[in-house]
Amino acid sequence: MEPGTQEWLDQVVEGPIDDLRAIVDPHHHLWPSDGALPYGVDDLVGDTTGSHRVAATVFIECHAAYRPDGPERLRPVGETEFVAAAADDLAVRHPDAAPISGIVAHADLTDDGLDEILDAHEAAAGGRFRGIRDALARALEPDAHMIPGGYAEGKSADPAFRRGVERLGVRGLTYDSWHYHHQNADFADLARAVPETTMVLDHFGTPVGVGRFAGRHDEIFEQWKLDIAQVAACPNTVAKLGGLAMPDNGFGFHTADKPPTSDELLAAQRRWYEHAIECFGPERCMFESNFPVDRFSLSYAVYWNAMQQLAAQYTETERDAMFAGTARRVYRLEL
């Protein structure tokens, strides 16, 4: 039985701990049938309607469905067109399912024509354009990763890049970053340099657990704690809490005979969540599925059950923030 398949995931089935809790999933992807990791509207609906009460979702760029020709700088707009069409299709064919209410697109933030690119995304998104992810991830050992980031070294310190991030803030848009744990201090420095732009830390800063970092979670955690505190000290930052089940995190769920239960997921990862929440505060945290990438390791229902178990120690106001309120505020969702 191959990990990540529906048959493998169906070995662990959990009913929702709280099926009345409104959830905004602020981080998922879509790919066409011939894309890198095919995941379309019906797949998304199958996950979001399976058990928990998902009220809305936000799509995050993943280099899907770019325009095949035309100006290079505008080719990522094809992805926004693809997702906007998918969102419209979802609304027609699955009117009771969670809508795709926001789109975080891709742009080269160093481009002199950035405003033209942002305008094109705005025009294509059907009122859903909320921000940009121009990722910083640069893997130290690309061959060890399932999904290696290969972005430019020193990108976050590039004056042109910082001007682009600043421009997002001027236009009321967010900046999302995917990067690795050894880049968290660089991200904090970027956040200090561009204080007027809301900066979204994806996936805890992706603690790596493969290659030279395999088997070193305890050691990495100690430095990661310090770096996360630096990031959280910047009031313009918010954190997405999820994405720790990617194979490159090194927890090994994707190689097991069956996927983890929510109890098993928390046993392995609770400390990362609790430290981030302690540093940022619930009002600057949002739980995220990172599907379908995390689907290699666990089911959508199990992830949200784990978060509901974790959140039981917080107040009702704090739980509402982490499950929905922070995402609504940061991505300006009208629900």
Sign of CA dihedral 309, 9, 133, 268: positive
pLDDT digits over 73-126, tens only? 999 999 999 999 999 999 999 999 999 999 999 999 999 999 999 999 999 999
Q: Does domain 20-330 have CATH number 3.30.590.10?
A: no
Give the model's confidence band at 35: pLDDT under 50 very low, under 70 low, under 90 confident, else very high. confident
In this predicted structure, what is the pLDDT of residue 50? Answer: 81
What is d(CA 293, CA 103) in angstroms, rounded to the nearest whole number? 18
Tens digits of per-residue pLDDT, 264-284? Answer: 999 999 999 999 999 999 999
Q: What is the predicted pLDDT for the residue at 335?
A: 63
Confidence of residue 4 (pLDDT cuts 50, 70, 90): confident
The confidence score (pLDDT) of residue 334 equals 81
User: What is the reported pLDDT for 3?
Assistant: 83
Closest CA to 321 of 24, 68, 11: 24
Listed by start position, the domains of the chain span 20-330
Q: What is the mean pLDDT of the chain?
A: 97
